[in-house]
Amino acid sequence: MYEDVMKRKNEIIQRAVGIDYSKFEIEGIAFDYERMMQEVSYTLEEIKKIQFETQVGNTPLVELKNLTKLVRRASKPGKGARIFLKDESTNPSGSFKDRRASVSVYHAKNHGYKGVIAATSGNYGAAVASQAAKYGLRSIIVQETFDSNHVGQPEILEKGRACEAYGAEVVQLTVGPELFYYTLKLLDETGYFNASLYTPFGIAGIETLGYEIATQVKSRYGKFPDAVLVTHAGGGNVTGTARGLKKAGAFNTKVIGVSVDLRGLHMASDHDFNRKSFTTGHTGFGIPFSAYPDRVDVPRNAARSLRYLDRYVLVTQGEVFFTTEALAQVEGMMRGPAGNTSLTAALSIAREMDEDQIIVVQETEYTGAGKLPSAQLTFAKKMGITVKNGDSIKEDIPGKVIAIPQDVEQIGVIEYPLENLKKSYVKESIKMYGRHEFSNTEKKFMAEDTNSNLKEIDEMLGEVLKNGKA
């Protein structure tokens, strides 16, 4: 039965998203990304209107004056950029994911679908359920929730509760990528719309976030932000935010992706599953989805982060817990913790920048039972993880030790060179297309898709093939 459903994957998905991806194909690896984004989805103006109607977006931009003071205290004279936070938790279901869901669910409603389905263990489930409630559509959310001992990750249990509170049916599964199989079966059975995170709808919905950041900063301070920090998982957040910044004219704003460092933990491992204190925004998504975006549930992923990233850094679990505590204690904002991933990096990156520069952290998320650091760390201790105070970057070991810093001075970032991601992209392309040769059209596409030039693509192809690792 598994094989039978998987064989019909393309047919099921085509009906469930209503997009004919074949018309954007050019040749082999190459497809017309910009044309897909323009033709499939809605314009920025249309999306603003769709989101306004359902109370999504137009979230406050808050200056974190106390955290900025603490950063300056730990910086060289003249250093310590102003840190601003886009309070996305004020969206209807409590995260920026409402922006993604708003467009998908609007589209589903207008195209006669009776319901929507999303496969997600994250805030996106609540967002889809909330939007479906507004439009009078039914919704089903499929989550990876438990390990084989029926122990649930508290953050995911909370998200399941939230989905149910908005009226969604929630299917809670044990660990494994066959979540996709189960989702296909449901799409086939119900005829509902696949509110995938990776269609042009899901990405275009985030463009308003980048656009609002650029215009809010410009209207208050007469210039665009110097850097925008984006929590990086599947690539949608980076892609949508960066596209929105550009649509507002903020071409020189640096887009910095940030993921929680969970390297070493296997994302499909039953054992490792409950030894992560973060269920999204981590390297288990950030790295593989950048290197091979089309690994998703639709033929062509609209989230293509390497096109937009200027820099990619990692932070530790312990650092994010520190930052979450600090945000509550000195700024009076109880949020996150996963949504504070990029705020954590801001505390370090602001120290490299001048006092008159502006950093915007582009999200927050709601918090509460299951999500708070107290809930996550109590659970981590129960799962045998050592929780201690210490130098997080040196002592944190994903799945074994969470070392929590005590001072802003101890917050740092781990640089993950974009060159490495680009090489992985080339390596994955060789593997997925089973070829060592690519046409000029394909190489031109690879260059665009990784923000490189043709010469760099040729060099990376040469290097990967020489090392024989593809």
Partner 1 sequence: MIDMAKKGDWVKIHNVVLAPSQRSSNLPEDTKKVPLEAWINGFLNEDGEIGETVKITTLSGRIVSGTLVEVNPRYTHDFGDPIPELLKIGPHLKKQLEEGSD
- Chain residues binding partner 1 by CB under 8 A are 1-2, 66, 69-70, 73, 115, 138-140, 145-146, 148, 150, 152, 154, 157-158, 161, 164, 167-178, 181-182, 189-190, 266, 268-271, 321-322, 325-326, 328-330, 368-370, 372-379, 387-389, 404, 406-408
Closer to partner 1 at the Cβ: 220 or 271?
A: 271
- Specify burial of residue 202 (Cβ count, 10 A radius: 0-12, 13-18, 19+): buried
Nearer to partner 1, 12 or 457 (CB): 12
Q: Coil, strand, or helix at residue 331?
A: helix
> What is the number of alpha carbons within 13 Å of residue 414 lying toward its C-beta?
17
Which DSSP string corresponds to 90-153? GSTTSSTHHHHHHHHHHHHHHTT-SEEEEE-SSHHHHHHHHHHHHHT-EEEEEEEEE-TT-PBP
Between 330 and 447, whose beta carbon lies closer to partner 1? Answer: 330
**Least Cβ distance, residue 413 to partner 1 (angstroms):** 19
Nearer to partner 1, 171 or 447 (CB): 171
CA atoms within 13 A on the CB side of 234: 23
CA–CA gap between residue 187 and residue 191 (Å, rounded):
5
Please report how close the Cβ of residue 176 comes to partner 1 at its closest, in angstroms. Answer: 5
Least Å distance between CB 20 and partner 1? Answer: 27
Nearer to partner 1 among residue 105 and residue 213 (C-beta): 105
CB atoms within 10 A of CB 90: 16
Minimum distance between the CB of residue 216 and partner 1, rounded to whole angstroms? 26
Cβ distance to partner 1 smaller for residue 111 or 150 = 150
The 3-state DSSP class for residue 470 equals coil
Nearer to partner 1, 85 or 238 (CB): 85
Neighbours of 219 (CB within 10 A): 8
Residues whose CB is less than 8 angstroms from the CB of residue 296 and which lie 6 or more positions away in sequence, other chains included: 196, 197, 198, 234, 289, 303
C-beta of 148: minimal distance to partner 1 in Å? 4
Alpha carbon 415 to chain centroid distance? 18
Nearer to partner 1, 283 or 452 (CB): 283
Query: What HEC string does 391-448 produce?
Result: CHHHHCECCCEEEECCCHHHCCCEECCHHHHHHHHHHHHHHHHCCCCCCHHHHHHHHH
What is the nearest approach in angstroms of partner 1 to the Cβ of residue 347?
A: 11
Calpha distance 448→3 (Å, rounded): 35
Q: What long-range pairs does 10-13 form, CB within 8 A, spacing at least 24? A: 10/299, 12/184, 12/187, 12/188, 13/184, 13/187, 13/194, 13/297, 13/298, 13/299
Least CB distance to partner 1 at residue 140 (A): 5
Minimum CB–partner distance for residue 175 and partner 1 (Å) = 6
Nearest residue (CB) to partner 1, 49 versus 388: 388
Shortest distance in whole angstroms from residue 8 CB to partner 1: 16
Which of these, 155, 172, 209, lies nearest to 366 by C-alpha position?
A: 155
Q: In angstroms, give the least distance from the CB of 368 to partner 1.
A: 8
Distance, in Å, from the CA atom of 117 to the CA atom of 131, rounded to the nearest integer, reads 12
Nearer to partner 1, 66 or 90 (CB): 66
